[in-house]
Amino acid sequence: MTRVLFLCTGNSCRSQMAEGWAKHLLAGGMEAWSAGVAPCRVDPRAVIVMAEAGIDISGFRSKHLESLRDIEFDYVVTLCESAKESCPYFPARIKVLHKAFDDPPSLARSAKFEEEALRHYRRVRDEIRDFVESLPQALNTNERSR
């Protein structure tokens, strides 16, 4: 089974959503984890919008990349520019992919009310879902082009 790590800076929002989607959409074909290079708490708004989509990430915890060092990943997917730039060295057998998504907490800072803030989270949630749904095909294509 393919093992994928979704890596973001804080492991609080985007990588948590990606892990949730992967576990929901790709169960049986892919094992998914998420971690951060500077983890913090899971974003409550990410939990809310994922629950709206039928995915419960309320039990997820933010993890530092180092806490997963014993897992042999096939792929690492960085989801933000900061994680891409601070991504540590991985052995050559681990393929590192990058797919940046907007940062919902940053976008929500200018929101005047909660519903406006949640719109940013929903949009990014849906973009991440589309990406995760297409991930197996993208990984296969990537393998064939090597």
DSSP state of 63: -
Annotated catalytic, 8?
A: yes
Phi, psi (deg, nearest 5) at residue 2? -75, 130
Residue 68 CB coordination number (10 Å)? 14
Annotated catalytic, 13?
A: no
Amino acid letter for position 124? V
Q: Among the options 8, 49, 117, 118, which is catalytic?
A: 8
Give the E-state strand segments of 26-92 in sequence order: 30-36, 75-78
* 139: its two tokens: 């990984």
Q: Among the options 7, 65, 77, 80, which is catalytic?
A: 80
Q: Among the options 48, 53, 68, 87, which is catalytic?
A: 87
Residues with a catalytic annotation lie at: 8, 80, 87
